[in-house]
Amino acid sequence: MSRNVAVVGIGHSRFGRRTDVNIAELAFESIKQALEDAGIDRKDVGFVTVGSAGGWYEEALPAVVINEYSGFKSVGTMRVEAACASGSAAVKVARDMIASGETDIALAVGVEKMSEVDTLTSVELIGRAGSYMWEFENYGMTFPAYYALYAVAHMNRFGTTTEDLARVAVKAHKYGAMNPLAQFQRDITVEKVLTSQVVAWPLKLYDSCPLTDGSAAVVLASEEVARKLTDTPIWIRGIGYSSDSANLSKRDDYIGLRASVEAAQRAYSSSKVGPEKIDVATCHDCFTIAEIMAYEDLGFCRKGEGATLIREGQTEIGGKIPVNLDGGLKAKGHPIGATGVSMIVEITKQLRNEAGRRQASIKNGFGLAHNVGGTGHYAYVTILSRDAT
């Protein structure tokens, strides 16, 4: 049995440093909005998935604590972990619960509170997401260093420049400045990026996403229920997924993420939609090079042509494929477990024509969310549409 599943409610907290709330309160901000947007009560929800990498905050069992605080009683639940792709993985589990007939309504919430630890501890926690004993312990690799390897390889192979990387950051801040929920709401210049502190050459401070607190939530429903709840259901047409070696020394090359390519191919195949039909996308821009590689891995251009898209403004509103109109991880922020759900909230807004100043032109009715865990250790690509089939 496989049923069509739609997003019928969305919620999103303010991203940033949230010392005003604990993890349960932070999750509840988006859960409350999502339930109200769907027009349902807590008792209508049959299953709750919580995407969270964990380790930054005090709760070891966040799903139970969040459900209790949010007023869910005796609900089926689980915490889902896939590093920075935990949110998308949580959405997939919730989707599958409905598609299989286990429940008619499910809630997926992503949450992380990364400000609970100091910056150095956070850098270590993120660094542990690779092959810990081989890379972190032996060579002191951190995540900026991982992506710096990819940046250097891409620059050497295709002539990508630090100015191209800077243009990605400028675009992110441009749209982040239009997003009242973003962590950074100010414009920057190419010069500001290029003159910022080097983190891991060629990546600089403004090439890097911040540490963030935040949550996002989506209510999903079966087709029968969705059509009763809303006139604008946004359908999950396909979810692709893949993974790769945790040890970067075992990767074939450093000019793209194989897991992203495979996840995209599976998403396109299951949805019967190609990249040329996508009207708007969110992609995993934890570092500026990651966005350029994503253009290529997702099929928006050929390998090596990602920098051309950003130079020509093709990934902005009015361009060939607008990307990260919410500010992306770079400016909106990257609360690890919340990011994938946040992406789906943004695509839902875009397909509903509810994005305001950030609204893309929706011609074909399709949007895409690309979420990576680690440096391609996990990858999820979710395609959403205005039509069920």
β-bridge partners, 382: 239, 369
Closest residue by Cα to residue 32 from 42, 17, 19, 44: 42
Contacts of 25 (CB under 8 A, 6+ apart): 69
Query: E strands of 152-267, at which residues?
Result: 198-200, 203-204, 213-222, 234-243
Contact 341, 218 (CB under 8 A): yes
Beta bridge partners of 208: 287
In 81-226, at which residue ranges do the beta strands (DSSP E only) sit? 105-113, 198-200, 203-204, 213-222
**Ramachandran angles phi, psi of 199, nearest 5°:** -100, -50
Q: What is the dihedral of CA 135, 138, 140, 142, to 10 degrees?
A: 10
Sign of CA dihedral 186, 295, 379, 367: positive
d(CA 336, CA 89): 12
Helices (H), 195-257: 223-229
Other beta carbons within 10 Å of 25:
16
User: Residue 137: which residues within 8 A CB-CB, separation 6 or more?
Assistant: none
Token pair recorded at residue 296 = 């290529």
Q: Which residues are catalytic?
A: 84, 334
Tokens read off for 204? 């600089």
Report the relative pairing of strands 213-222 and 5-12 from DSSP bridges: antiparallel
As given in the structure block, the two tokens for residue 258 are: 């194989």
